[in-house]
Amino acid sequence: MESLRIIDNWPVETAAAVVVRADGTVAGAHGPQRHRFPLASVTKPLAAYAALVAVEEGAVELDEPAGPPGATVRHLLAHTSGLAFDEHRTMAEPGTRRLYSNAGFEVLGDHLAKASGIPFAEYLRQAVLEPLGMADTELTGSPAKDAVSTAADLAAFAAEVQAPALLAARTVAEATAVVYPGLRGVLPGYGNQANNDWGLGFEIRDGKSPHWTGAHSSPRTFGHFGQSGTFLWVDPDAGAACVALTDRAFGPWAVEAWPPFTDAVLAELRG
């Protein structure tokens, strides 16, 4: 895909991108596909997927208590537990505000480890990474932000999310639809959003503005971006997913570069 060559003009030292169709085939790839990049918060969809496997296996339930009083596994996945961004401090009643929380995902990881008897990083490896052949992906610390991966490995994950084999299709559909709709909150890097919509570990595009996806991304687009200069989106209306990984921290360069890149990819996909 010619549009992927746009990453050559980004102000970064190393970048890789890949587009995966809904049938799992690679529509195009550019840059070093096996180069390992820190994912930052693109870790969260991987962690969420492992949590959903745990739900289907019966190790935990979405609505069992977890985290602050009144919160559940579902609240932690949807950033509505009330926990602060990077502190284990409660700032709101569960389900009342969309407080994006690394701490919430760390509590989730601890909860799943206790329930399963397996350290979370190992559970993630066994439940998601190994079955998908993601041999170059590793969780080295926090389930919120400390995975390292490659474009090739995330292409396998993007294929799985679009045509689930590890989870029931209905589970993925629930995870990628809005949970607790209509909640106000801050989208990191983009400010307050009147409807800061999220699914279970996946951010939902909807009508957010400004946003890191494109002007022509469908409202049903879901995914995540990371402060390490990484993103993964899936646009069901386009029938494709896109991964872009860089070695430069998110900042004004990404705010300017990412949306037109996404729009170019979508335009090429739609012919």
Orientation angle between helical segments 102-116 and 43-57, nearest 10 degrees = 30
Average pLDDT, the chain: 97
Task: Specify the pLDDT at position 196.
Answer: 96
CB 33 within 8 A of CB 150: yes
Proportion of the chain above pLDDT 90, given as a percent: 97
Strand partners, 186: 192
Domains and CATH numbers, the chain: 2-270 (3.40.710.10)
Q: Which residues contact 96 (CB under 8 A, 6 or more apart)?
A: 80, 82, 183
- 147-149 sheet: strands from edge to edge: 37-38, 147-149, 138-139
Task: Specify the pLDDT at position 170.
Answer: 97
Q: In angstroms, rounded to a whole number, what is the distance separating the alpha carbons of residues 251 and 262?
A: 17
Token pair for residue 178? 């809005």
CB 112 within 8 A of CB 59: yes
Q: Mean pLDDT across the stretch 23-36?
A: 98
- Provide the 3-class DSSP secondary structure of residue 27: strand
Helix H or strand E encompassing 265: helix 252-270
Task: Specify the pLDDT at position 271.
Answer: 86
pLDDT in tens, 148-183: 999 999 999 999 999 999 999 999 999 999 999 999
With 90 as the cut, is the pLDDT of residue 255 above it? yes
Task: Specify the pLDDT at position 214.
Answer: 97
Q: Mean pLDDT across the stretch 29-33?
A: 98
* Residue 80 buriedness (CB in 10 A; 0-12 / 13-18 / 19+): buried
Proportion of the chain above pLDDT 70, given as a percent: 100
Helix H or strand E encompassing 29: strand 26-30
CB 201 within 8 A of CB 48: yes
- DSSP strand pairing (203-204 vs 222-226): antiparallel
> Which amino acid appears at position 168 of this protein?
A
pLDDT in tens, 209-223: 999 999 999 999 999
Token pair for residue 189? 């890097």
Task: Specify the pLDDT at position 157.
Answer: 98
CB 189 within 8 A of CB 176: no
Q: Mean pLDDT across the stretch 50-56?
A: 98
Strand partners, 204: 222
Q: What is the 3-state secondary structure (H, E, C) of 220-245?
A: CCEEEEECCCEEEEEECCCCEEEEEE
Q: Mean pLDDT across the stretch 135-154?
A: 98
Task: Specify the pLDDT at position 106.
Answer: 98
With 90 as the cut, is the pLDDT of residue 124 above it? yes
Q: In angstroms, rounded to a whole number, what is the distance separating the alpha carbons of residues 261 and 60?
A: 39
- DSSP strand pairing (191-193 vs 203-204): unpaired
- Provide the 3-class DSSP secondary structure of residue 144: coil
pLDDT in tens, 188-241: 999 999 999 999 999 999 999 999 999 999 999 999 999 999 999 999 999 999
